[in-house]
C-alpha cells in the first residue's frame, strides 16, 4: 500500500531509541521530513537529515519552540507522533508509591502528549489539517499488580486521544493512538531487569517494528476515515484467558 507520506513533515518525541527511533527511520524511508524532540543528544549514526532538538517533552516552551523550528525548516507540519514514555515504579504496592513517583509518568506520558498535540495543532491549522498519533500501551485498557502510575498515565492517553479527536475534528486534524504490549526496547529491558524483554514466556516481546506499521497507517491519508480510535497491539494477548482461568496442562 502506498501511504503517500513522501514530502510530508513529521515531528515525533523520544526518537533516540526504541519505538521512536524505529518510527523516525520508517518515516524517512517513506520520504518524509523528520524532526525529533528527545531529552538526549542525537545518537551516533543517526541521519543528519533528521532535525534534532534536545529538550524535555514536559516543558511547554521547549515543545512550542520545537514545533516553530520544525515549521520554519520544512514549511509546515503534517504529522505529530508522541512516543515519549516513562514507566515509574514497577512492582511497587500502592501504599509505597511516593507522589513524585506517581506524577513523573503522568507528566511524560500524558502531559507530554498533550503539549505535543496542542502546539502541533496550531501549526496544522495553517496547512488545513493533519494527523496526531499517540503511543499508549496495552496498560491503557488492562492492569497488572504493581503498575498503578503507569496504568493511570496510559489510561489518560486513551481518553486524551478521544477528547482531542472531538476538539480538533472541525479543523481537519485526526487524533488516534496505538496501544502496544511490552515491546523489546531499552526501557522495557530496564524495567524487567532483562537483557531481552519478554512479557510472556510463550509470547516473547516483539520488536518495535511491529508497531511502526500501525503508526504510519494512522499518520497517512490511507486512514482518513479513522479518528479517535485506539488500536490495541497485544498480538492476541487479550484474547487468551487469564492465567487463573487457563486449563491445567494435561499430565503425560
CA-based nearest residue to 11, from 62, 221, 45, 44: 62
Q: What pLDDT score was predicted for residue 209?
A: 73
Q: What pLDDT score was predicted for residue 243?
A: 54
Task: Give the H/E segment covering residue 82.
Answer: strand 79-82
Q: What pLDDT score was predicted for residue 145?
A: 87
Per the structure block, which three cell numbers stand in for 240?
487468551
Q: What pLDDT score was predicted for residue 206?
A: 53
Model pTM score: 0.86
As a whole number of angstroms, the distance between CA 98 and CA 74 comes to: 43
Query: Where does 31-185 have alpha helices with state H?
Result: 60-74, 99-105, 112-125, 148-168
**Cβ atoms < 10 Å from Cβ of 53:** 19
Hey, which residues are catalytic here? 150
CA 224 to chain CA mean position, Å? 20
Q: What pLDDT score was predicted for residue 252?
A: 44
Q: What pLDDT score was predicted for residue 249?
A: 45
CA-based nearest residue to 8, from 23, 25, 28: 28
Q: What pLDDT score was predicted for residue 194?
A: 45
Place of cell 524532540: 37
Positions of the chain with pLDDT under 70:
1, 182-208, 240-252
| DSSP state letter for 171 | G
As a whole number of angstroms, the distance between CA 156 and CA 160 comes to: 6
Per the structure block, which three cell numbers stand in for 30?
517513506
Amino acid at each position: 500500500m502506498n501511504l503517500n507520506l513522501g514530502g510530508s513533515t513529521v515531528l515525533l518525541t523520544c526518537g533516540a531509541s526504541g519505538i521512536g527511533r524505529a518510527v523516525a527511520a520508517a518515516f524517512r524511508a517513506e520520504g518524509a521530513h523528520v524532526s525529533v524532540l528527545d531529552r538526549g543528544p542525537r545518537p551516533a549514526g543517526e541521519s543528519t537529515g533528521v532535525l534534532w532538538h534536545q529538550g524535555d517533552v514536559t516543558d511547554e516552551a521547549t515543545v512550542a519552540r520545537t514545533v516553530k523550528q520544525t515549521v520554519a525548516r520544512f514549511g509546515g507540519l503534517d504529522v505529530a507522533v508522541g512516543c515519549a514514555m516513562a514507566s515509574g515504579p514497577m512492582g511497587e504496592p500502592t501504599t509505597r508509591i511516593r507522589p513524585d513517583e506517581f506524577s513523573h509518568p503522568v507528566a511524560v506520558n500524558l502531559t507530554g502528549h498533550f503539549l505535543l498535540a496542542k502546539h502541533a495543532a496550531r501549526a496544522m491549522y495553517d496547512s488545513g489539517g493533519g494527523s496526531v498519533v499517540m503511543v499508549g500501551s496495552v496498560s491503557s485498557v488492562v492492569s497488572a499488580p504493581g503498575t498503578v502510575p503507569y496504568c493511570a498515565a496510559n489510561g489518560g492517553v486513551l481518553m486524551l486521544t478521544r477528547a482531542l479527536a472531538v476538539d480538533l475534528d472541525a479543523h481537519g486534524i485526526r487524533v488516534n493512538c496505538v496501544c502496544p504490549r511490552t515491546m523489546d526496547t531499552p526501557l522495557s529491558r530496564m524495567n524487567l531487569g532483562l537483557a531481552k524483554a519478554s512479557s510472556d514466556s510463550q509470547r516473547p516481546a516483539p520488536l518495535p517494528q511491529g508497531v511502526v506499521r500501525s503508526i504510519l497507517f494512522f499518520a497517512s491519508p490511507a486512514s482518513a476515515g479513522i479518528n479517535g480510535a485506539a488500536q490495541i497491539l497485544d498480538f492476541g494477548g487479550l484474547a487468551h484467558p487469564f492465567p487463573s482461568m487457563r486449563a491445567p496442562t494435561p499430565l503425560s
